[in-house]
Amino acid sequence: MTEILLAAAVLVLLTVLAGLWRVLRGPRRADRLMAAQLLCTGGIAALLLVAGASGSAAILDVALLLALLGAFTSVAFVMAARLIGR
């Protein structure tokens, strides 16, 4: 079971790498924002899978922290885009 969870975490990280490409090369700001959300969500999913495989509660705390930072990052990105757009 541990191997399956770790393989799923690797698969999620591969999708995160694909999202990183969109963050760097996104044609519009909205595309970049959605890709940044994918990075955050994918990172959380990978951390949760690794936590499930290892049974570590500390990794769950890191996943929770990443979720909070991802939400604040999205709000900051929207506010900055709003200020720049004026």
Q: Exposed, middle or buried: residue 52 (CB in 10 Å: 0-12, 13-18, 19+)?
A: middle
Confidence tier at 86 by pLDDT (50, 70, 90): low
List the structure tokens of 77.
């990105």
What would the pLDDT profile of 20-75 be if each residue is shown by its tens digit?
887 788 788 778 888 888 888 999 999 999 999 999 999 999 999 999 998 898 88
pTM of the model: 0.81
Domain hosting 7: range is 2-84
Q: What is the DSSP letter of 56?
A: -
Q: How far is CA 44 from CA 5, 29, 66, 84, in A?
A: 14, 23, 7, 30
Q: In 10 A of CB 50, how many CB atoms? A: 21
User: What does the pLDDT read at residue 50?
Assistant: 95
Number of domains in the chain: 1
